[in-house]
Structure 1
Amino acid sequence: MIQLAFEPAFDPFHAAFRLLRQVEFRGGVAVDVRRAKILDVYMVEPVRCLEIRLSGVAKRSAKYASVHQPATYGQRPSTPVLFGRMSPMQDAAIQTLVLQGILDGDAYGQGLLLRGDTPLPENLTVRLSEVNSTQATLMTFLGPVLDEVPLDGPNGLKARTGLGEFRYDIV
């Protein structure tokens, strides 16, 4: 018996689309590669937004973002395990986008994701816009809300999500 299984978290093409969603949503503002990779986990499974250690308005915003969770099949790995398994696909997607000129190579050399000079096909631009507007509460949470949280340090995004080593950060 042959069985096909599709898991968006482990598909480099899907990772490229999700990373482009983040870049396009920010409208010309660069995003740290490490931040983008962490946020990508929450784009794949928005219900995990509820696991982020937040308070007040940000916690309420996470609740609204989590409603975009697609149906999942089977038992899911923990968030840190999922993050680790997604990393090679994210790296492949980022490197491909940089090589194609869709993401800026100089910015990537500085650890940032920024749109490059290569224009996107019209249908891809439309699709990115449609999905971002359909999931506006998720994108707002992952963009403006979590951008208020620094990446590094004991109260940074890496510490609050548990998806990065923060103890040796220079803050």
Structure 2
Amino acid sequence: MLVYHPAFDIYHGVFRALLLLENVPNKSMPFDALRIVDLYFLFPYLLADFEFPRGAGRRGRRLAGPKSRFNTLPSPKTFVSQMQGLHMLIAAALAGRGLIQGEALKRGNVERTDAVVSEELLGQSTSEDIELAAYLGSNLATIPLLGKDGLKARSRLMEFRYDPA
């Protein structure tokens, strides 16, 4: 039985990364933040378990929607870890096309360049995709990654106890 899921499609991953980066205020985020935010884009129901900063949770929980028995993860933390290689391929593909800065990627940041992205490509997104990407880019991707109140700690998807800060 062959099953398709966009999480494992590198081309869909490039699309997701571009859509998320277009919705981050400075069009830049740490690589690990992109990995976390991408998981919430793929599986928005996980937002229901996110520890939101004060005032940001109402809309996030509304966007979470109901959990589907056809689209659930047994262990989101394990899934994020397993997806690291695919996320590295996505970032390398974006850097290779000049859509993100290669030097910034070597430092662990994903920074959008001024290269133009086809309107036709981003126009493939649905209104739900745009609303979710806008929320994730402006609310979750802007949370600092490290520390006890950082994105890694709030999501509980990556180890944070030994982070500096």
- TM-score, normalisation: structure 1: 0.82
Partner of 2:43: 45
Shift of 1:53: 1.6
* Partner in structure 2 of residue 170 of structure 1: 164
Compare the two structures and name the one with the higher helix fraction. Answer: 1
Which of 121, 135, 145 is the equivalent residue of 1:141?
135
Check 1:147–1:74 CA distance in 2 against 1; reply closer, same or farther (3 A cut). closer
**CA distance in 1: counterparts of 2:131 and 2:122, whole angstroms:** 20
Q: TM-score scaled to structure 2, two decimals? A: 0.85
Contact 2:94 2:100 in 1 (8 A): yes
Residue 23 of structure 1 is matched in structure 2 by 21
Task: Say how many residue pairs are matched.
Answer: 165
* Residue 36 of structure 1, CA deviation: 0.8
Percent of aligned positions that are identical: 28
Q: Conserved in 1, the CA contact under 8 Å of 2:15 and 2:121?
A: no
Counterpart for residue 78 of structure 2:
81
RMSD of aligned residue pairs (Cα, Å): 2.4
Alpha-carbon distance between aligned partners in 2 of 1:7 and 1:70, rounded to the nearest angstrom:
16
Are residues 1:6 and 2:37 paired? no
Structure 2, unpaired ranges of 5+: none
- Asked which structure has the greater RCO (Cα within 8 Å, sep 6+), the reply is 2
Residue 164 of structure 1 aligns with an amino acid whose one-letter code is M
Q: Which runs of 5+ in 1 are unaligned?
A: none
> How many angstroms apart in 2 are the aligned matches of 1:60 and 1:107?
34
1:107 matches 2:104: yes
Report if aligned partners of 1:150, 1:156 keep a CA contact under 8 Å in 2: yes
